[in-house]
Structure 1
Amino acid sequence: MKKIILSLIAITFFTALYAQENKEKSVKYRRSSLYTVMVDAPNLPYADSIKKFFINSTIPEKFNDHNLGNRVFTNFTSPTNADPIKGNELLLKRVGTITSPTNANSITDNEILLKSIAKEAVSKWFNRSEKGGFNMELIRSRGSYDASVLDIATAKASKRGLDMLADAGEELIKNTFVLVNEFKYTSKEEIAKKASGWLNALGTIGDYAGISNASLITNAVAVGVTVAGKGYIVKTNAHLYRLDWNEEVATKFYNEYWAEDNTITNEKKQAFDDSDIFKLVYVGSDNSWADVQSSIFTNKREEELVQRATIKAVDAVIIELQKNHEEFKTKTPLYTGEPITAKIGTKEGVTNKSKFEVLEQQISENGKTSYAVVGSVKVDENFPIWDNRFGAEEENPNSKIDRTYFKKVSGKEFYPGMLIVQKKGK
């Protein structure tokens, strides 16, 4: 009898543990949405293959994939470049040619293009069909909303329905971002030759790679970047935009443009086609870089090394942008509550000094979402931080770590599904 009781206790314990971990896996939290593009640079090494690689690359899993048809822009002028784009041919091009928001000489052209991207982003949110009709399927899926409350005709007839539409706009549509990456590839062998054969200072690499930000070089030391040997340094200047979805835009959209396929008219279809109310707003720019050492991957071609570094550079610049722009920070659900763990790691910029607020999602009587801070955690230094960067499984083939552990700083009981967000400036 004693053995039977012990067996039942063990089964109950492991069933509870399995259920706790599975609870997190089933959590549907509302991620920000991201559309990443690169600026075409045909003179870079392996330009064509890198372009194909980027086009097929995936969005970081902490974001919803909101990629549109074109992921390569041409004729981009960065915010620090005063030279305008010449000619009116820009006006005839579809999404894919863009100029900086600070370039006064071509701001009109730029606004047209940014609005074109914004309209396509809205079309994707509402699954616009060839007939011109919309539906709420993507919003319902990403936001875990009940289908009945997102029926537009019904929603517009009640306060609760309008609140739910507003919640979808605030929680999902408003948090749609576009990230434009300008890449620069530099061979470490080439840098070494320019530096008379040997580099022993990261500052020198920064100078040659066009990196003036001293903190980036310091960060590179922290993650063990090596400077000797063959390999590539990839730098990206990234420019972040956000879809401007507000109450005025939402009201006009639902009242004047909305129609399903079975109710669409030529007038409403044309009204959306001719609309110019949708726009992207410039959030900010940042830069970062990644170093790939070919001596680690003796079986890798140089082309593959550049590909790896390209993705790592994008991941790194997202971290920099999140440090400087609160609205771009992502939320991550706790994986387990005891011990406190989350599926987050070095890819998201987690270090031993990282601190996070713990948020509990709350739903009002009208269905609107809010987040209450219920505590805080810090990285548990007794455990290694999960290295989840691109290609980490090849660089650390023996690692069994698949999550990061945290210590409670304040708060009561935490449970899977609660969200953590990195504290400002950390």
Structure 2
Amino acid sequence: MRKNILFRLATAVMLFLLLLPNTLLGQDTGTATVRENNPLRNYLRPSISVLYIYRGDDSKIKETIKAIRAKGISRKFDVNETSTDLIEFDMEAPIDTLELKRYLEENFAREIVSNWFPRFISEEEGYSMDVIAERGMFSATDADVIASRSSVRQEAMLKDAGLNLIDRSYILIYDITSLETTKEGDWIANCDAYIYKLDWSEEVSETFYQQWGNPNAISETHFPVELVSAIKDAKQLKGLMGSESRSSEGVIITTRAQRLAESIYENADIYAAQFVEDFKAKAPVYSIRPITSKLGEKEGVRPERRYFIYQLEADEQGDVLAKRRGVVRASNKIAKNDSIATGDSELTRFYQIQGGKIYEGMLMQENPDFGIAFGGYFTFNEAGAFAEYNITKLISQFFPNNPILGGSVFIRGGYPFGQKQESDQQRLYVGFGVLKEFNFMRFLTLSPYLGYAAAPEVKKDGVVVQEQLVGFIAGAKGGANISPKMNVFITADYNSLKSTISEYYSLEKSISSFSLGVGFQISL
């Protein structure tokens, strides 16, 4: 009996975890040129316009859109303003990405181009290049500044580089497809996201520049856009909850719309950085003891943000290939580089979590994750599964200057065994608590944890046959990151609930509160 239960539990955990990554990624379509993971693609500071599909007169959706607006736009983007950020759409009709493309070309593409050329000067001088010069200077890295010093044009060279940024003009569209209210008063929302890009091809730019002396050149030119990614049915954008939080005096601290907007904004930001190559900030590794780079606040670096390290190598045909050599996360020492580069900018410090030895000059590429992990474990007297969520982002809101790295909350379900079980006995329990992960030796982890455990009350024919049993759990996991997503570990665990169960049922052989075992963890 016990073996059958354990087998079914282990099988269910394995199937769940194997299928989970595919389920969470959802459906995505897009063009390979800017979607595929291509570390060799030159990183240029992207610009963005953020739009919202508005489906009918729904006050809750309207309030949530307002809350997303209030969060602003990531500092890694320049902003291309539009006269409106709403797209009116029939509530019942599904999104047709081709129809949406035509709508953007007709109503927004020219406005986006106008952000780059905001003022017509004269037929002789054409359009103002001030914005292009400013963005070119702001986008320049220390390496660009140092390289420009060897040119006779120097600063003019950096300003002209802004012309290349036009082809990094993107449109991010939020589509809150539904928003319901639960019995408890919380909001539950489903959201899709669409990412388009201004197709500033050589043909398009040449057509525009041929009319440089025409004050109506922008309004008379067709500027195409292309679909980069349609993020639909992604689990991290479905079933999002917005709960109201109040102080002890009853004052509202966070509204339901604000909490919901936070989830939509953060998850869409991670999806976009995973799917769109131009959104992945890149820079060379500057030093290795400690690991640093010139990426900073200007590139959207935040504590615990994940980055891959690549070594560039030439194959036998002379083609350059990028091979991943390691994985790092940003520490809480982030460069305040939100200004024009001088050639001597501050450095951001990183710590390694996986891979081999890293060398100066290797390429660091942004590759964020959701901070979610799932796994299973098996000890000599217990089997179970767990889920963890990294709360560093939440903590950094209260301690922005010194957030705690590697802090997580967890929930786990376990089944203690080691003694014959009667039919009325219920040993399954749920535990939750906090965990702190420490990283060392490039890929090893140590994660002490502390939490609370409870086995539910059990009734049979209306009679209580088991009261609710409670206890505490404490222990540590020592693991190895064998890939960016997979960790295997050994665990030493103390669960006082096991002793409580033994005493409650007066078992001849008590279930030990202490156990040793092994497990695995998949991060997303």
TM-score by length of 2: 0.43
> Which of 343, 354, 359 is the matching residue for 1:412?
359
- Judging changes above 3 Å, is the alpha-carbon distance between structure 1 residues 330 and 184 closer, same or farther for their aligned structure 2 residues? farther
Match of 1:294 in 2: 244
- Judging changes above 3 Å, is the alpha-carbon distance between structure 1 residues 50 and 422 closer, same or farther for their aligned structure 2 residues? closer
Match of 1:269 in 2: 215
Query: Whose strand fraction is larger, Structure 1's or Structure 2's?
Result: 2
> Which of 294, 304, 308 is the matching residue for 1:356?
308
Match of 1:304 in 2: 255
User: In structure 2, how many angstroms separate the alpha carbons of the residues matched to 1:315 and 1:275?
Assistant: 36
Deviation digits for residues 232-266 of structure 1, max 9, x if unmatched? 3333211111000011112222222x24xxxxxxx
Answer yes or no: is 1:314 the counterpart of 2:269.
Answer: no
Deviation digits for residues 388-422 of structure 1, max 9, x if unmatched? xxxxxxxxxxxxxx97633574442269xx75332
- Judging changes above 3 Å, is the alpha-carbon distance between structure 1 residues 272 and 73 closer, same or farther for their aligned structure 2 residues? same
- Judging changes above 3 Å, is the alpha-carbon distance between structure 1 residues 296 and 244 closer, same or farther for their aligned structure 2 residues? same
User: In structure 1, how many angstroms separate the alpha carbons of the residues matched to 2:221 and 2:75?
Assistant: 33
> Which of 298, 310, 327 is the matching residue for 1:378?
327
Q: Report the AA paired with residue 320 of structure 1.
A: Y
Q: Report the AA paired with residue 327 of structure 2.
A: K
Match of 2:416 in 1: none
Note if contact 2:188-2:241 (Cα within 8 Å) is conserved in structure 1.
yes
Match of 1:177 in 2: 170
Note if contact 2:44-2:278 (Cα within 8 Å) is conserved in structure 1.
no
> Which of 217, 221, 226 is the matching residue for 1:281?
226
User: In structure 2, how many angstroms separate the alpha carbons of the residues matched to 1:138 and 1:60?
Assistant: 19
Matches within 5 A, 1:5-404: 30-75=44-89, 81=93, 100-103=96-99, 111=102, 113-129=104-120, 134-144=127-137, 168-170=162-164, 172-184=165-177, 186=179, 190-191=181-182, 193=183, 231-256=186-211, 258-259=212-213, 268-276=214-222, 278-286=223-231, 287=234, 288-289=237-238, 290-294=240-244, 301=252, 304-331=255-282, 338-340=289-291, 354-357=306-309, 376-379=325-328
Q: CA deviation at 1:164?
A: 8.3
- Judging changes above 3 Å, is the alpha-carbon distance between structure 1 residues 59 and 374 closer, same or farther for their aligned structure 2 residues? same
Note if contact 1:179-1:240 (Cα within 8 Å) is conserved in structure 2.
yes
Identity over aligned residues, as a percent? 21
- Judging changes above 3 Å, is the alpha-carbon distance between structure 1 residues 44 and 273 closer, same or farther for their aligned structure 2 residues? closer
Q: Report the AA paired with residue 220 of structure 2.
A: D
Q: Report the AA paired with residue 203 of structure 2.
A: E
User: In structure 2, how many angstroms separate the alpha carbons of the residues matched to 1:102 and 1:322?
Assistant: 23
Mean CA deviation greater in 280-289 or 45-54: 45-54
User: In structure 1, how many angstroms separate the alpha carbons of the residues matched to 2:139 and 2:193?
Assistant: 37
Q: Report the AA paired with residue 254 of structure 1.
A: Y
Q: CA deviation at 1:308?
A: 3.1
3-state DSSP class of the match of 1:310?
Answer: helix
Structure number with higher relative contact order (C-alpha < 8 Å, ≥ 6 residues apart): 1
3-state DSSP class of the match of 2:195?
Answer: strand
User: In structure 1, how many angstroms separate the alpha carbons of the residues matched to 2:106 and 2:284?
Assistant: 33
Q: Report the AA paired with residue 202 of structure 2.
A: E
Larger of the two Rg values belongs to structure: 2
3-state DSSP class of the match of 1:238?
Answer: strand
Note if contact 1:31-1:331 (Cα within 8 Å) is conserved in structure 2.
no
3-state DSSP class of the match of 2:264?
Answer: helix
User: In structure 1, how many angstroms separate the alpha carbons of the residues matched to 2:139 and 2:276?
Assistant: 32
- Judging changes above 3 Å, is the alpha-carbon distance between structure 1 residues 40 and 274 closer, same or farther for their aligned structure 2 residues? same
Q: Report the AA paired with residue 324 of structure 1.
A: F
Match of 1:16 in 2: none
Q: CA deviation at 1:337?
A: 5.7
Q: Report the AA paired with residue 58 of structure 1.
A: G
User: In structure 2, how many angstroms separate the alpha carbons of the residues matched to 1:294 and 1:421?
Assistant: 33
Note if contact 2:50-2:85 (Cα within 8 Å) is conserved in structure 1.
yes
Note if contact 1:358-1:421 (Cα within 8 Å) is conserved in structure 2.
no
Q: Report the AA paired with residue 244 of structure 2.
A: S
Q: In the comparison of the two structures, how many residue pairs are matched?
A: 283
Deviation digits for residues 44-92 of structure 1, max 9, x if unmatched? 34344444444444111222222322111112689xx45xxxxxxxxxx
Q: CA deviation at 1:40?
A: 1.8
Q: Report the AA paired with residue 379 of structure 1.
A: V
Q: CA deviation at 1:313?
A: 0.5
Q: Report the AA paired with residue 73 of structure 1.
A: I
Q: Give the gaps of 5 or more residues in structure 1.
A: 1-28, 83-98, 148-159, 194-228, 260-267, 361-370, 387-401
Note if contact 2:244-2:255 (Cα within 8 Å) is conserved in structure 1.
no
Note if contact 2:243-2:255 (Cα within 8 Å) is conserved in structure 1.
no
3-state DSSP class of the match of 1:177?
Answer: strand
User: In structure 2, how many angstroms separate the alpha carbons of the residues matched to 1:412 and 1:40?
Assistant: 49
3-state DSSP class of the match of 1:281?
Answer: strand
Note if contact 1:39-1:74 (Cα within 8 Å) is conserved in structure 2.
yes
Note if contact 1:34-1:65 (Cα within 8 Å) is conserved in structure 2.
yes
- Judging changes above 3 Å, is the alpha-carbon distance between structure 1 residues 146 and 355 closer, same or farther for their aligned structure 2 residues? closer
Query: Whose helix fraction is larger, Structure 1's or Structure 2's?
Result: 1
Note if contact 1:179-1:241 (Cα within 8 Å) is conserved in structure 2.
yes
Note if contact 1:375-1:410 (Cα within 8 Å) is conserved in structure 2.
no
Note if contact 1:35-1:178 (Cα within 8 Å) is conserved in structure 2.
yes
3-state DSSP class of the match of 2:226?
Answer: strand
Q: CA deviation at 1:177?
A: 0.8
